[in-house]
Amino acid sequence: MKKLMVIGVVALVLGSCGRAQSWPDGAAYEQDILQWRAERLEALKARSGYLNQVGLFWLDEGSHSVGSAPGSDVRLPSSAAADIGVFDVSADGVRMRVHAGVDVISGDEAVTDLLIADDTTEAPVEVTHGSIAWTVIKRDDRFAIRVRDFEHPFVETFGPLSYFPIDTSLRVPATLQRYDAPRVANVDTVIEGLGYHPESPGVVSFEIEGERFELEAYASGERLFFVFGDVTNRDETYGAGRFLYADLPGADGKTIMDFNRSYSPPCAFNDFSTCPVASPRNRLPIRIEAGEKYDPALHYVSDIAH
């Protein structure tokens, strides 16, 4: 699958990335941000984080071999068996048939034939083989296998993350201006031809240094989610944009945009996520020198195909 060239999850790393709070004093606010940063790094390095992802394979309908052998359609790291089995892909999903004598586990039980529920279902399935695991993701009615290595050395050596200095002036009041009815946004992702289609309740307006700006918000439970770009994407932050959360406002439409809590998407660290990129209407014409920076040295390039 051809990737978009970017100068820069959705599953996202931190659940607390943008919780609005009462306005804190300087020392308390700084400590809060430092704690948020520590929790973000911990979440990235966790078993369910993004750093142990080592492969992403898009599958057409039909049968696909899986194993560590070089000719495998789904190529696993060298610690896996050379020939594990076959993925059969249909409109119903992805079924795995495991060869005799190969140890494959799901839910603490050995499996030989399994329909792998994808990540859009109520109970997604993870399958393991030694330290290697895989799941099925579904995007725009297309299926892919995402591979993880829980002993991936990149996780242990990862970090530290780089940040701009904390800037309280970039924690700003904002107002949600609701659309007459929620709209479905059409947003590109880092995978060419794959879209991201969140529901948008409206746009959030705010001021920075006396100038008013707007970002389209995406619904995310009790919060608003933003994929935004700014001029720092050219040199100091991830080129495809950064992520940010804010509390869902009440009837008055009021919330807080805390750009000190903006952070890089998973694709800043490897090529095995389907990150949305900032749309043209969500690219700010100023530098937002707050939040997480981008360090190319913290991007993992896998030696298996994807």
pLDDT of residue 209: 97
CATH fit for domain 53-151, picks 3.40.50.720, 2.160.10.10, 3.20.20.70, 2.60.200.20:
2.60.200.20
Contact 111, 119 (CB under 8 A): no
Query: In this model, does residue 221 exceed pLDDT 80?
Result: yes
pLDDT of residue 21: 45
User: Using the 8-state DSSP alphabet, how is residue 231 labeled?
Assistant: G
Strand spans (E) along 91-196: 93-98, 105-106, 109-110, 113-116, 127-129, 132-139, 142-149, 171-184, 187-188, 195-196
Average pLDDT over residues 149-178: 96
Query: Strand 53-59 relative to strand 113-116: parallel, antiparallel, unpaired?
Result: unpaired
Contact 265, 191 (CB under 8 A): no
Query: In this model, does residue 192 exceed pLDDT 70?
Result: yes
Average pLDDT over residues 97-118: 97
Q: What residue spans define the domains of the chain?
A: 26-48+161-298, 53-151
d(CA 176, CA 206): 9
Structure tokens at 187: 């947003």
Confidence band, pLDDT 50/70/90 cuts, at residue 302: confident
Query: In this model, does residue 9 exceed pLDDT 50?
Result: no
pLDDT of residue 305: 52
> Where do we find the tokens 């495809």?
240
pLDDT of residue 18: 39
Per-residue pLDDT reduced to its tens digit, 16-71:
443 444 556 789 999 999 999 999 999 999 999 999 999 999 999 999 999 999 99
Per-residue pLDDT reduced to its tens digit, 238-271:
999 999 999 999 999 999 999 999 999 999 999 9
pLDDT of residue 22: 53
Among 16-30, 169-183, 218-232, where is mean pLDDT lowest? 16-30
Using a pLDDT cut of 70, give the percent of the chain over it.
Answer: 91
